[in-house]
Structure 1
Amino acid sequence: MTDFPTYRSLSAKIWSPVEKIIATRRDIACEIPVSIEYNCASYAVMMVTPADLADFVFGFSLTEGIIDRADDIIGLDIHQVEQGIVAAIEIRESCFEKLEDFKRQMAGRTGCGLCGADRLEHVIRPLPPVPESQPYTAAVIHQSMKKLRDHQPLNRATGAVHAAAFCDRAGNILSVHEDVGRHNALDKIIGHLMRENIDPLSGYVLVTSRCSFEMVQKCASAGLPLIAAVSAPTELAIDLADQTGVSLVALVRDDNMSVYADTRERLIRK
């Protein structure tokens, strides 16, 4: 697997309020198309920051419902081509048959966006409830969110990427992944947990973005008990969190935060 650059230094012009133009150079985040192929069949092209791509592939495959566990992927080759990057993934035959069944159901159908009941049923698919876990304190979540700023070197250089982090119950940040896409950053964290055989119930996730439906769906797919976001959630995200038992905390800033879903009563004040 080749290492790919995550940012480049490019020229820019600074326009000041007094109309003075200053030539300079800025570090700019790289964004590259990654073609995802399962058993030689093309599935999707994602725009991704080219770092931690193996983690991304594992996490994406799980949260898309293509695999159920890490050993469902039996081969992975990530290589660069002229137009971008190809992630050639070999999955177990049972997983590929499930994927092929879905593709056959969709063949020949047309629509706009997410129109059509079958497509909506695939996107908003049933998910098992997240198991019970130990409680978390508000203070621990606040402390870990504040520490996260020191674990984002790519964003510090470019100001253009999101981060997702996995923390233990004491608030220690165990892993951070950055990406131009907030969904990608979370997939990378989930893939890291899978590949390192880390129990998702042993901690919680932080994200430096809003918490949309897809973010909660990914956490539920991975069995993550709690997601804490720096920005607000959407209504559908809250509904899904209630249904799956994911605890959803958002607007984690300064010394306060908003608890939108906590059916498992994981959060305590002290």
Structure 2
Amino acid sequence: MNQNLNTTGIAKSAVARLHADGGTTSLNDDVVVEEPLEIRIGNRPFVVTMRTPGNDEELAAGFMTTEGFTHSKSDFKEIDRCRMASHPENTIRVRMSTGVKLNKIESLRYGAISASCGVCGKTSIESIRNSYPDIQSDCKIERATLLSLPDRLRKSQVVFEKTGGLHSSGLFDKAGNLLCLREDVGRHNALDKVIGFALLNDIWPLENHILMVSGRVSFEIIQKALAARIPIVAAVSAPSSLAISVARECGITLVGFLRNPTMNVYSHPHRISG
């Protein structure tokens, strides 16, 4: 199990705690860190995202893959800190393997930016269906095992335990074993870190795995799960209408409000047994 024990995402902040009786206590509180991460392709700036520091190489690999710029570990020649940057701690440099067309990556990037303006839900579904085949996985998980995942995820949220201000994503196998957990101020970043971990450690594709997220499920979460070929996505909170539509169309089992002893299954319930 590769739990996220990285506590670099924690900072101290002075706070005045106000009490019901009118009293005030001054103390130092643990707060989550949020800083920009610049991802460069070679020496060229590519994208900047706000994230919680830690596992930045995984974040870069996961982002590049779930956004459709890359498809396998072999696409990457090297992912490391850009030591020449003014802030290397917040800069990751990605060197692509020979044969990966950088101009195609650039066109995909700008195409995604222009296509994001004014599109409807139906167009979004059609777009990702053209990019990724439907998931046909025969992966199944026992109902009791699925119901146990929120507690297993919560017990491993080290930084959340100290700050109360992070999202988390966990990757599980069919037996309910936690393979990787990552936390981040951005829910999409937490997922990209998990997917990047799987990609870089040759746990790929993820056709026999379960994704558990700590919050709600948006379209973006399902889109990234589809890119990683994850057949079962579960959350302790609610999914959006578009997330449900995409899951139904693309073959993903989507579970919401997963809180023992009940759950809501919005699509493809055949993967839950028992």
Is the TM-score greater than 0.5? yes
Q: Which runs of 5+ in 2 are unaligned?
A: 1-5
Residue 62 of structure 2, aligned match among 52, 59, 62: 59
Residue 134 of structure 2, aligned match among 92, 107, 129: 129
TM-score (norm 1): 0.88
CA deviation vs aligned residue, 1:127-186 (integer Å, no higher than 9, x gap): 211232221122111112112111001000000001111111111112111111111111
Q: Superposition pairs for residues 6-21 of structure 1, below 5 Å?
A: 6-21=9-24
In structure 1, the partner of 2:172 is 167
Residue 201 of structure 1 aligns to a residue whose secondary structure is coil
Residue 154 of structure 1, aligned match among 159, 174, 181: 159
In structure 1, the partner of 2:193 is 188
Residue 244 of structure 1, aligned match among 238, 250, 253: 250
User: Could you say if the C-alpha distance between residues 256 and 159 of structure 1 is closer, same or farther in structure 2, counting changes exceeding 3 Å?
Assistant: same
Q: Pairwise CA RMSD of aligned residues?
A: 2.5
In structure 1, the partner of 2:78 is 75
CA deviation vs aligned residue, 1:238-268 (integer Å, no higher than 9, x gap): 11111211110011113101001117x2112
**C-alpha separation between the residues in 2 aligned to 1:103 and 1:187?**
17
In structure 1, the partner of 2:221 is 215
Q: Is the 8 A contact 2:69 2:108 kept in 1?
A: no
Higher RCO (CA-CA < 8 Å; seq separation 6+): 2
Say if 2:194 is the partner of 1:198: no
In structure 2, the partner of 1:230 is 236
CA deviation vs aligned residue, 1:184-229 (integer Å, no higher than 9, x gap): 1111111111111114123211000100000000000001111101
**C-alpha separation between the residues in 1 aligned to 2:33 and 2:112?**
33
Q: 1:116: Cα distance to partner?
A: 6.5
TM-score (norm 2): 0.87
User: Could you say if the C-alpha distance between residues 183 and 12 of structure 1 is closer, same or farther in structure 2, counting changes exceeding 3 Å?
Assistant: same
Q: Which runs of 5+ in 1 are unaligned?
A: none
CA deviation vs aligned residue, 1:10-55 (integer Å, no higher than 9, x gap): 2111011111110011111111100111233322110111111111
Which 10-residue stretch deviates more, 146-155 or 98-107?
98-107
Q: Is the 8 A contact 2:63 2:196 kept in 1?
A: yes
Residue 189 of structure 1 aligns to a residue whose secondary structure is helix
Aligned letter for 1:132?
Answer: S
